[in-house]
Amino acid sequence: MYLIKNAEVYDPSPRGRQDILVVNDRIAAIGKDLCPNLPDVEVIDGEGMKAVPGFIDQHVHVTGGGGEGGFHTRTPELMLSSVIKAGVTTLVGLLGTDSLTRSVENLVAKTKSLKNEGISAYCLTGAYVYPPVTLTGAVDKDLVYIDEVIGCKLAISDHRCSRPTKAELIRLASDIRMAALISGKPGVLHLHVGRAGNGLKEIMEIVEEEHIPITHFRPTHMDCHHEEAIRFMEKGGWADFTAEPDKAGELYETIQKAGTERMTVSSDSNGSIPVWNDKQEIVDVKVGGMEPLFQLIRNLIRDYDMPVDSALSLITSNVAKALQIYPEKGALLPGSSADMVLLDKDLSIDTVMAQGKLMMKNGKLLAKSTFEEIPIA
């Protein structure tokens, strides 16, 4: 059990200076001057700290991605220490361009591994290609029968995608919707939207013509398609933007036009960052990290005077609502999962708690992946 004293609480809305009592994996109480008559309560001094919900990252290449530049450009899989240091307590794993040397089986296994190591983890079946790669042989069966699978990934409008037809998109979305209704899951069709083709044109037509709820379609990388993202959000959809801290100004401009209510941010961690020439030949490749997720949020707060709660919602409550796990996740409320980050006065990540377990304290790691060869406190 833990008692965080005198922290400035954001749930993510500001609630002023409060104490937070954590019992097992739950937030048991939030209030002023809590003095629980319980044994073995560890007190954590939250003076000068902001207590915020643990961050949620819904686009993570947990098994690694890349490969566009040859076998040696396959990026490494995600390690728990990277997750903790980024303040992330819940994530969604997915495949990338490569579904030949990577598999849904490996993805599900890695997702289960991360759960065993102490964070909350889900995953998406599919990858860039159509028909989608699956574990059971069908997207709807993966969604219904595999606990961790909450949807499917697919690439559109990209020179690396399979160019699915409108009819194929309708069939896939319909299968996902039916499986979501049966399984009680969000049933997301997570769409990698590239810079080629018609963007979201066919998706918007499907929403209008087929009456499939727009909330099943989850376009990501919308930082390359700001105007389309605004139109999509105005229709009630969720638009996901990849975290690029040096482009905080562009995102802020979109926020000024559309608000944050239907907007989320993800990291694209452990995916490749390829550089293409005008002939679509790869000339360089780098690997993405998870740190930009909160770096972008911090830049919005510091450089653009964005309210802390509005900025935080992009990686906490909004994502949880989109994934239908709010207020279990993405909130600091009595009864919510004890996923929490303490930020110091400089808005640096000081302490991380996942499901009631301290994973980092005072900047020192307390947990790591099973075979990580790094020191922990």
Tell me the Cα Rg of the chain. Answer: 20
Question: Burial, 346: exposed, middle or buried (Cβ in 10 Å; 0-12, 13-18, 19+)?
Answer: exposed
Tell me the C-alpha to C-alpha distance, in Å, between residue 161 and each of 37, 98, 216, 230, 238. Answer: 59, 11, 20, 24, 22
Q: Is 142 a catalytic residue?
A: no
What's the token pair of residue 367?
């947990």
Cβ-contact 139, 179 below 8 angstroms:
yes
Beta-strand relationship, 239-242 and 42-45: unpaired
Nearest to 133 by CA among 107, 166, 163: 107
Match 């309708």 to its residue by tokens.
Answer: 170
Question: How far is it, in rounded angstroms, from Cα 196 to Cα 173?
Answer: 21
Given the residues 175, 240, 268, 339, select the one marked as catalytic: 268
Beta-strand relationship, 55-60 and 50-53: unpaired
Question: How far is it, in rounded angstroms, from Cα 14 to Cα 48?
Answer: 14
Match 């097992």 to its residue by tokens.
Answer: 24
Question: How far is it, in rounded angstroms, from Cα 111 to Cα 124?
Answer: 10
Nearest to 332 by CA among 86, 38, 89: 89
* Residues labelled catalytic: 268
